[in-house]
């Protein structure tokens, strides 16, 4: 023990120096490690900031091209024909498509509508037209065109605040979600699929026009749905009219025959007649008559004698309405 104490006293100064050096070295490594961690965290934070800035920039680019005219509600029950486009008389639009046939189809659909149409074969021509023309409301823009495609042209247009009020509608056969996203990011708010449908084109023009437009919906007949009848005839209006003529000629006095059957209690004949009429009535679009005829037949089948007279009156009134409307149609 004395030897240890004497050793410590002899080398006390050296021991203190060693301890101090150890502490300094330890402190050095602690500080160095801390600085490395801070540097790493700073670098990591910088990367994260760069990534966030990149994402923000991408989002900014997306919203940069989405300044659009106000959209209004479109009544899906409107019946649209070529003549319906006359309500857009004076509207100025650009049709941009490098395919001459597609241009012809679109101009044909809008012919005699009074719409002011400017044609362009590529995106650059669209920009040239905008430099010369004022009050362009809508651009129907093909996505893929030579010289300058629709996406690039749309971005340029939507970067110019002068054209904020212009709606750009993509014309494309592409319907994939990724393609639609690219169109939207470029500033194409709507897209119309080729081949173009009359109804879809009208819907877009109507939804984004700022004019005060009143569409008078063609009222359907209360007892003869001509649209359904023509559709059942495969869209052949002449065939439909021939069937209407034959229906009238065959059944013009049928109410008298059915009444006589009731008086004579010869209901078997009435059942066959009513079955035929119910089917034919549905075929010509006389849906209410078909329903009333079926009810009349069921009353006879179930022998509800107390209801015979009322059923016959309902049938007579409805079929006479159908005959009158057929006369107007023919």
Question: What CATH number did the domain enclosing 194 receive?
Answer: 3.40.50.2300
Domain end residue (candidates: 31, 64, 97): 64
Which residue matches tokens 């509508």? 113
pLDDT at site 234: 77
pLDDT at 267 over 70: yes
pLDDT at 92 over 50: yes
What DSSP state is assigned to residue 75?
-
pLDDT at site 48: 52
pLDDT at 60 over 50: no
Same domain, 190 and 268: no
Domain end residue (candidates: 208, 239, 273): 208
- Alpha-helix residue ranges (DSSP H) falling in 136-209: 150-158, 177-186, 198-208
**Mean pLDDT for the stretch of residues 190-207:** 88
Is the residue at 323 inside a domain? yes
Q: Quick check: 139 and 126 in contact, CB under 8 A?
A: yes
Same domain, 89 and 42: no
Same domain, 90 and 200: yes
User: Which candidate, 110, 69, 101, places its Cα nearest to that of 194?
Assistant: 101
pLDDT tens digits along 291-330: 999 999 999 999 998 999 999 999 999 999 999 988 887 7
CA distance 330 to 324: 10
Same domain, 188 and 239: no
Same domain, 54 and 111: no
CA distance 112 to 125: 25
- Alpha-helix residue ranges (DSSP H) falling in 215-266: 226-232, 237-251, 254-264
Is the residue at 73 inside a domain? no
Same domain, 175 and 283: no
CA distance 163 to 127: 11
Query: Poorest-confidence range of 3-7, 20-24, 214-218, 221-225?
Result: 214-218
Same domain, 200 and 280: no
Is the residue at 216 inside a domain? no
Residue 211, both tokens: 């004019």
pLDDT at site 59: 42
Is the residue at 70 inside a domain? no
pLDDT at site 1: 52
> Which residues span the domain enclosing 49?
2-64
Same domain, 143 and 51: no
Q: Quick check: 170 and 141 in contact, CB under 8 A?
A: yes
How many domains in the chain?
Answer: 3
Burial code of 83-114, b = ≥16 C-beta within 10 A, e = fewer?
ebbebbeebbbbbbbbeeebbebbeebbeebe
Is the residue at 177 inside a domain? yes
CA distance 5 to 224: 124
What DSSP state is assigned to residue 96?
E
Q: Quick check: 90 and 138 in contact, CB under 8 A?
A: no
CATH number of the domain where residue 297 is located = 1.20.120
CA distance 139 to 103: 13
Q: Quick check: 251 and 319 in contact, CB under 8 A?
A: yes
**Cis omega before residue 195 (within 30°)?**
yes
Same domain, 183 and 264: no
pLDDT at 122 over 90: yes
CA-CA-CA-CA torsion for 260, 266, 267, 269, nearest 10 degrees? -90
Is the residue at 69 inside a domain? no
Same domain, 273 and 189: no
**Separation in Å, CA 50 to CA 36, 39, 56:** 21, 16, 10
CA distance 125 to 128: 5
pLDDT at site 215: 47
pLDDT at 66 over 70: no
Residue 312, both tokens: 């016959």
**Mean pLDDT for the stretch of residues 250-275:** 90
Same domain, 171 and 197: yes
Is the residue at 167 inside a domain? yes
pLDDT at site 274: 92
Q: Quick check: 297 and 271 in contact, CB under 8 A?
A: yes
Same domain, 174 and 204: yes
pTM: 0.49
Percent of the chain with pLDDT over 70: 76
**Mean pLDDT for the stretch of residues 42-52:** 49
pLDDT at 57 over 50: no
What DSSP state is assigned to residue 122?
S
pLDDT at site 54: 45
**pLDDT category, 45, cuts 50, 70, 90?**
low
pLDDT at 152 over 80: yes
Domain end residue (candidates: 64, 93, 113): 64
pLDDT at site 47: 44
Is the residue at 91 inside a domain? yes
């Amino acid at each position: 023990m004395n030897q240890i104490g004497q050793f410590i006293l002899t080398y006390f100064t050296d021991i203190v120096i060693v301890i101090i050096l150890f502490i300094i070295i330890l402190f050095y490594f602690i500080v160095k490690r801390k600085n490395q961690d801070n540097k790493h965290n700073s670098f990591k934070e910088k990367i994260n900031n760069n990534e966030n800035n990149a994402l923000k920039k991408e989002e900014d680019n997306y919203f940069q091209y989405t300044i659009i005219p106000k959209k209004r509600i479109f009544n899906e029950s409107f019946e649209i024909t070529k003549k319906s486009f006359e309500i857009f008389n004076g509207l100025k639009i650009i049709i941009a498509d490098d395919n001459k046939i597609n241009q012809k189809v679109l101009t044909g659909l809008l012919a005699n509508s009074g719409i002011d149409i400017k044609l362009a074969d590529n995106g650059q021509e669209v920009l040239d037209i905008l430099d010369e023309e004022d009050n362009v409301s809508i651009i129907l823009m093909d996505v893929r065109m030579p010289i300058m495609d629709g996406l690039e042209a749309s971005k340029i247009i939507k970067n110019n605040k002068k054209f904020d009020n212009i709606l750009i509608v993509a014309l494309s056969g592409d319907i994939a979600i990724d393609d639609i996203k690219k169109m939207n990011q470029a500033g194409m708010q709507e897209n119309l699929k080729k081949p173009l449908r009359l109804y879809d084109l009208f819907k877009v023009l109507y939804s984004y026009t700022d004019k005060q437009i009143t569409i008078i919906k063609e009222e359907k007949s209360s007892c003869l749905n001509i649209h359904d009848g023509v559709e059942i005839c495969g869209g052949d209006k002449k065939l439909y009219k021939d069937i209407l003529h034959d229906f009238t000629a065959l059944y013009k006095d049928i109410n008298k025959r059915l009444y006589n059957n009731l008086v004579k209690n010869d209901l078997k004949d009435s059942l066959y007649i009513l079955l035929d009429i119910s089917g034919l009535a549905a075929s010509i679009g006389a849906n209410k008559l078909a329903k009333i005829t079926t009810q009349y037949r069921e009353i006879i089948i179930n022998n509800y004698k107390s209801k015979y007279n009322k059923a016959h009156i309902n049938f007579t009134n409805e079929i006479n309405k159908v005959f009158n409307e057929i006369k107007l149609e023919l």
